[in-house]
Structure 1
């Protein structure tokens, strides 16, 4: 049985994919990845990934937002343009947005304000949020608390933090995105016991490619480039540490992801095939 997977975080506009984007998408499909959400982290990139999503209709969708790293460059014009993107049918989430107190490429107060503005936009247009949080979990939780009742859904993508942060997010009814970080025997093993604590209807999987190549891959590409075709490594590792089968993890994360991004009706035919 081929797993049918949803990769909720693909940086397909990255220059690492410039030479062979079509092949990357074909390989993903061959390896059971039936839906990919392409990440927008700036206004220009959000437009770019929307154009890419249109090249792969029914297979790729996109997000539109301002990453905390670029918060200092955002202005009224940026938000007007973003808002226009949110009405495009391929755009399924607001983001990548959030807080990064690890690198502080933008001043923290600016990151917070730009994050809040995007939370407000998400409420206004009814879209879920695709969020980034690094070393800022308390502040991040404080901010979303004020909006949580009005926000439809929110995922903390590429979760790498500790148990305290995880419980803080689960208490706020957030979804959690798990990447190849869980396959890293040097820095990801703390996630092994935690993954059991994430309710099945809150867990989603992603490659965050071209980054975070799963270290558990037996044959690693020379380029060290990650791609959606390797998503099953993440599923396999989660299965190992939850005691569920890879098929169960695949099915549950797919159902959760399609519901999260409001793609369930869109994929109804696909799910029908699966259940025969």
Structure 2
């Protein structure tokens, strides 16, 4: 890859990486993915993400939080356990947290309560927040908007929404994270077009691996498993839509990633 790129969301704690996680990381680093943030989705997964990240100083980092799917499992004492994780230098952002009304694996009122607790945690710690929203935009805005000016930085990751939804997030000063969803000719066309409308300083990219393998990737891996080494493919796709040189876009996104995460690499 021309310049280093940063994957702001990769699920390296997934069982799909259980047998070859070190090799997956090494191949990504060799492909130019010089920074990765491992996503924490439960307390246990956040602890596992931390263990992976600490093995690669200044290359891998992680989030710690509770995904809305698992909000119903969240216990009051877990907030202190998350806070303890956030004392570690490689744990950079609160999350993955937010709302998911598509699958409703947790009751909606519980999702909202756990989301709000994590927003307050991010504010108290002065840390970025890594957010998920699916089929819950209006409620999401009701929860997050009162806190938006108090947050250090925030990203709506794996964005698959509408132009209006994207504009609502941009108006709050949030970053927008795009995945290989934009490489899907069946359902990603509209979102792909939206990548051209994001201001230079608000654009982030991610694989969300092992999910969302870019459909236009050639050759496709036999396993059909997405990996962080495919992040440059997402970047070049966005650069093409925006009419920019991939090298220039890579440099901008590297800068954005550091600013979002409040780090210097």
* TM-score scaled by length of structure 1: 0.94
8 Å CA contact 1:64–1:86 kept in 2: the answer is: yes
Q: Give the alignment of 1:26-45 within 5 angstroms.
A: 26-45=26-45
Q: CA RMSD in A?
A: 0.9
Distance in 1 (CA, whole Å) between partners of 2:119 and 2:192 is 31
How far did 1:195 drift?
1.0
Q: Give the alignment of 1:1-276 within 5 angstroms.
A: 2-264=2-264, 267=265
* TM-score scaled by length of structure 2: 0.98
Distance in 2 (CA, whole Å) between partners of 1:211 and 1:3 is 24
8 Å CA contact 2:239–2:245 kept in 1: the answer is: yes
Distance in 2 (CA, whole Å) between partners of 1:248 and 1:140 is 33
SS in 2 for 1:165: helix
Distance in 2 (CA, whole Å) between partners of 1:3 and 1:27 is 16
Distance in 1 (CA, whole Å) between partners of 2:68 and 2:223 is 28
Distance in 1 (CA, whole Å) between partners of 2:2 and 2:112 is 42
How far did 1:3 drift?
2.6
* Deviation by residue 1:71-107 (Cα, 9 ceiling, x = unmatched): 0111211111001111110100000000001000000
8 Å CA contact 1:216–1:233 kept in 2: the answer is: no
8 Å CA contact 1:39–1:62 kept in 2: the answer is: yes
8 Å CA contact 2:183–2:192 kept in 1: the answer is: no
* Deviation by residue 1:163-221 (Cα, 9 ceiling, x = unmatched): 11111111111100000001111100001321111111111000000010011211110
* Deviation by residue 1:90-134 (Cα, 9 ceiling, x = unmatched): 100000000001000000010000000000000100000000000
SS in 2 for 1:221: coil
SS in 2 for 1:98: strand
Distance in 1 (CA, whole Å) between partners of 2:87 and 2:124 is 11
SS in 2 for 1:148: helix
Which residues of structure 1 form unaligned runs of 5+? 268-276
Q: Which runs of 4+ in 1 moved over 6 A?
A: none
Distance in 2 (CA, whole Å) between partners of 1:51 and 1:251 is 29
Distance in 2 (CA, whole Å) between partners of 1:183 and 1:262 is 29
How far did 1:2 drift?
2.3
How far did 1:22 drift?
1.1
How far did 1:246 drift?
1.0
Distance in 2 (CA, whole Å) between partners of 1:162 and 1:97 is 20
How far did 1:141 drift?
1.3
Which residues of structure 2 form unaligned runs of 5+? none
